[in-house]
Structure 1
């Protein structure tokens, strides 16, 4: 299955520099493609755009629409999918408002899943569904043991049943290999996976 890839930052080849702090997101030369009004808004929001990058990939896959991540966020925020705290901290993606947002705006049928093992996700993938999964961001280095599951979202869209692998795009992968068409053994994926996410019906 060919699924378009988008990182949560516009310059996918600079993700490693953004993550390490060698480069500030406001210096992303492609920031204007995000839908942000200026580099500062882009820098503030791009670290939180993993969920919107997943939605962007889904819409590109299913609808052949490419909608900028921060433009998507601004609509999702109207539904309560993101909240800015008094101290300026950003809370989100908040699942249930997101599900309502994509139902109203894009006609997508989705539901929040909790306490859901990877085996259930694999079964749904074979039944015309995709899954936005909560995983630890260190899934980009699967040889490591994460301190805890969850904290980041990846777009899971396929399974290799014979090899018992899940196939996904990671919006914060820092190399091409850790970004696109990532294949991980189901048991390895489960180490990073928080057993929650958003199940979306295709078609």
Structure 2
């Protein structure tokens, strides 16, 4: 890590200390609809565990993909875009007709995804925020050093937080993973009395109720949380 990046990281962490002195309400909730990055939410577990072709998804055309190959290409990289579509639907319904692939392609034009014809890269936060601000007139910013306390603070204000986690958060009681990050989820609330946050996981499973407003304890969340994300403020 370069000296500049090191001191920037330290500076961000010091700035984050202010959130620990904020008095927050004991709970907060955001009214965002759940959307799966796979068009058939009931088949997510099958696709991830058994890895059959996504051509078997009977609803693939709803993604906005022109071909099954395009659907397969975007679906595995669309977690962040799916979170954003949930946010758009929570704010108002004028963008409801925008499909996931349309949003993803729009973000790609801003550099949010690398131009790889086989598989899009992970989401580039700054470029994605540029897209959100330019095309949807929403205030969006990347947070490279994000804390759980700041997440709670933002949610208490009614803002939306997309966070980077290990995909195994769909099994919150599983061991601490070797690496954090690799998947994006939307935080939709927290409750101190229950000791956890509520998440919309775009690739969660129906079988263990890890998709829609899934409760993950603070301790469990910290195992998977990569300490970074994107904040989109309510208009």
TM-score, normalized by length of structure 1? 0.94
Asked whether the equivalents of residues 73 and 120 of structure 2 are also in contact (C-alpha less than 8 Å), the reply is no
The structure with the largest alpha-carbon Rg is: 2
Alpha-carbon distance in structure 2 between the residues aligned to 1:54 and 1:115: 20
| Residue range with higher mean Cα deviation, 192-201 or 176-185 | 176-185
Compute the displacement of 1:45 (Å): 1.3
Q: 2:222 aligns with which of 175, 190, 201?
A: 190
Compute the displacement of 1:61 (Å): 0.9
Residue of structure 2 in register with 1:166 after alignment:
197
Q: 2:89 aligns with which of 52, 57, 60?
A: 60
- Is 1:105 matched up with 2:135? yes
Compute the displacement of 1:120 (Å): 1.5
Alpha-carbon distance in structure 1 between the residues aligned to 2:103 and 2:32: 19
Asked whether the equivalents of residues 163 and 225 of structure 2 are also in contact (C-alpha less than 8 Å), the reply is yes
Residue of structure 2 in register with 1:126 after alignment:
156
Q: 2:58 aligns with which of 29, 39, 42?
A: 29
Asked whether the equivalents of residues 15 and 174 of structure 1 are also in contact (C-alpha less than 8 Å), the reply is yes
Stretches of structure 2 that go unaligned for 5 or more consecutive residues are 1-29
Deviation readout 1:92-136 (Å, 9 max, x if unpaired): 211001001010111110111112221221111112211000000
**Stretches of 4+ moved more than 3 A in 1?**
none
Alpha-carbon distance in structure 2 between the residues aligned to 1:184 and 1:159: 9
| RMSD of Structure 2 on Structure 1 (CA) | 1.5
Structure with more of its chain in strand, by fraction: 1
Compute the displacement of 1:22 (Å): 4.7
TM-score, normalized by length of structure 2? 0.82
**Where in structure 2 are the equivalents of 1:83-94 lying within 5 Å?**
83-85=114-116, 88-94=118-124
Q: 1:13 aligns with which of 42, 48, 51?
A: 42
Alpha-carbon distance in structure 2 between the residues aligned to 1:85 and 1:175: 31
- Is 1:175 matched up with 2:178? no
Stretches of structure 1 that go unaligned for 5 or more consecutive residues are none
Residue of structure 1 in register with 2:101 after alignment:
70
How many pairs were matched up?
202
Compute the displacement of 1:187 (Å): 1.8
Alpha-carbon distance in structure 2 between the residues aligned to 1:59 and 1:89: 25
Residue of structure 2 in register with 1:135 after alignment:
165
Compute the displacement of 1:68 (Å): 1.3
